[in-house]
Structure 1
Amino acid sequence: MSVDQVRSPRRTQILHEAAQLFAARGFHGVSVDEIGAASGITGPGLYRHFRGKDAMLAELLVGISEQLLDEGRRRVAEHDSPAARLDALVRGHIDFALNERALIVLHDRDLANLPDEDQRTVRRLQRAYVEIWVGVVVDAYPGFAQAAGRERTAFRARATADTDGDASPQSADARARAAVHAVFGLLNSTPHSAPGGPHAPGPDAMAELLRTLALGAFAAAGR
């Protein structure tokens, strides 16, 4: 899954170079002229494609959020069983994490540089993407609902006994949502924080390792 799949070759090239430069030096540390030079086009010529750096950053971050959501929906629709749907989601997100490092850096560091409306759009798309995962995870691992039921029973017992206790119990969706965010943290960071060198796992081995870890985390959390 790549941000390059839905754009013209010239826009794709400009956005690719902008993403690399923004990730390496920060949004405010890069000029339009530098993006133009990296793209083989004069700085003023970029304004035929984008109104400025803000528009490039918005298209990068909104665009990848839209594509993650569309890809998530497509993968879920292609499979019948919850386990197969979850595996497809995990594989798709791993592909993103391994191949779109610059966009992960941009989101973590430069989302706040977007106009408020674009920030709200990105967050809305991301929430929808997370909720796809939450529904699949709860279906794949009934233990999330069972654990939530045990918490509700314990909470009612404490309330009946009029004793101090923990806050209100989490729902199955809330527990699954926390697990999804934790797995996203694992998938998004591990490929780029793992040590390199001649003995480091290759892309295929890393992808399979991340898949095993992600599914194992959901299985453990959903017991």
Structure 2
Amino acid sequence: MATRTDAATRREQILREAARLFAERGFHGVGVDEIGAAVGISGPGLYRHFPGKDAMLAELLVGISGRLLTGAKRRLAEADGVPSEAVLDSLVEGHIDFALDDRPLITLHDRELDRLRDSDRKLVRQLQRQYVELWVEVLRAVYPGLAEPAARSAVHSVFGLLNSTPHLGRPGSLPGRATTAGLLHRMARGAFAAAAAGE
């Protein structure tokens, strides 16, 4: 008899393979049977976990926005009393982990967000706004002279930089995770410093 943990693990497997396939071939280019085959179950067997592809897409895109926000809040809570520079570094590191480990979700967000129901799309946007505002608050603590609109623009620009990882080539063609992460971190901090210098 399958346990609740087994079911949760199976859902995660389905979502991971759905994200990969949707990113590679587009939402409409992938059938339920193919997703099922990727995780070793029949296409109809997927309906025990999800009502359909639309539900998978919604869970993927709402889910990653929620996880990024939750992770950022956790990093801020753990950083009580830590210098603002270190908090900003922690936020950058967390987003780099996402950008390197969940590249298909970045592609999926860019291509398929408009396919979500209005309510799901609004929820994604709401979660993303909250995530941005956390970064803006920390960034302005590091650079007090940086006006709020400029800080928000800088945060969005750095997200664009970090979320460019799907365009870096296949994972095996990168110079190594640590090297790539270090480069992205230096570029992000450099962009923030440049924004503050321009004020």
Instruction: Note whether the superposition's TM-score is higher than 0.5.
Output: yes
Residue in 2 aligned with 1:30?
30
Letter in 1 for 2:121: Q
Residue in 2 aligned with 1:99?
101
Residue in 1 aligned with 2:181?
207
Q: For residues 180-219 of structure 1, what are the structure 2 equivalents within 5 Å?
A: 180-189=155-164, 191-194=165-168, 200-219=174-193
Residue in 2 aligned with 1:89?
91
Unaligned runs of 5+ in 2: 1-6
Unaligned runs of 5+ in 1: 1-6, 145-171
Residue in 2 aligned with 1:166?
none
Which residue of 131, 134, 153 corresponds with 2:136?
Answer: 134
Cα deviation code 1:158-177 (max 9, x no counterpart)? xxxxxxxxxxxxxx111100
Residues 212/12 of structure 1: CA separation in 2 closer, same or farther (3 Å cut)? same
Residue in 2 aligned with 1:39?
39
Residue in 1 aligned with 2:4?
none
1:39 CA drift (Å)? 1.2
Residues 11/128 of structure 1: CA separation in 2 closer, same or farther (3 Å cut)? same
Q: How big is the alpha-carbon RMSD for the aligned residues of Structure 1 and Structure 2?
A: 1.7
Q: TM-score, normalised by structure 2?
A: 0.91
Cα deviation code 1:47-106 (max 9, x no counterpart)? 110000000000101011000000001111222221111000000000000010100000
For 1:127 and 1:199, the matched residues in 2 are separated by 33
Q: TM-score, normalised by structure 1?
A: 0.81
For 1:113 and 1:75, the matched residues in 2 are separated by 31
For 1:85 and 1:215, the matched residues in 2 are separated by 12
Q: Secondary structure at the match of 2:23?
A: helix
Which contiguous aligned blocks of 4+ residues in structure 1 show a shift greater than 4 angstroms? 195-200
Residue in 2 aligned with 1:155?
none
